[in-house]
Amino acid sequence: MSVEPSTKPASAAGTVDLGDLTVNRMAFGAMRVTGPGIWGEPADRDSAIAVLRRAVELGVNLIDTAASYGPEVSERLIAEALHPYPDDLVIATKGGLTRPGPGQWQRDCRPETLRKSLEGSLERLRVDRIDLLQLHTVDPAVPLEESVGALAELQREGKIRHVGLSNVDSRQLAAARKIVPIVSVQNRYSVADRHTEGSLEACEREGIAFLPWFPLAVGDLARSTGRLAEIARAKGATAAQIALAWLLRRSPVLAVIPGTSSVEHLEENVAAASVELSEAEFGELSRSAEAYL
């Protein structure tokens, strides 16, 4: 049993600003439209295309991807499914992680690598400018100032509209903001995993959008049998919907990007925008990260 989606439920969660762009807070992460292990082509290409198109039909107007998803597969599928893009659709991608092989992720945030990655993303997404380019990680072998400086230069060249960061702490965010305006931070965060709370609080203070990755803890929250599941049953929702509803209530600067390769799960996730938690329910889940068990 789950809360059924309405015609455009994504808008029920409200909006968040990415610089001069405004998007619905219920968004979509396009990592899992690729093959197993985020490697290669999807097993069912038609289904992957259907998920992307259905997301837009449901009112999602922010799709998050990365050059490393596939690698390159996710970006190509987005273009195949949605180009020419609706006027209000924002596509965010990332550079800074490379894929030597299946299950392998390698940091490379050198300016020349970021430029090459960006040029590839432009071609695969069939655009002249990336709406939001996020530094996928901080590379310990490359000064953060050099990596962010490279993105600032690409922005000056008109190839990037806005710059974001991923996997950063509040100190790194502050350092990057001295170089270029930062409109978003994407860190791992969920009701069960709040180790980047400091970064979220910094984003709240500065009015920067926060995009939590793994918002369902790699599916663990969807399989909850504890208090999260009890609240879900009482509301006629799923545990995943309650976990997403908690995130949407946690902060007005937060936009959630759950990913899936299933239209059914997509519709379930997007419908979480219509789920309302009481003050008591939100407080109970907020007090204990173990409440989802």
Instruction: Provide the annotated active-site residues.
Output: 69
Region for residue 217 given its phi and psi (left: phi exceeds 0; alpha: psi -120 to 50; beta: otherwise): left
- Tell me the residue type at 124: R
CA torsion, points 171, 144, 132, 82, in degrees to nearest 10?
-120
Where does residue 52 rank: exposed (0-12), middle (13-18), buried (19+ CB within 10 A)? buried
Strands 21-24 and 15-18: antiparallel
Residues paired with 166 in a beta bridge: 186
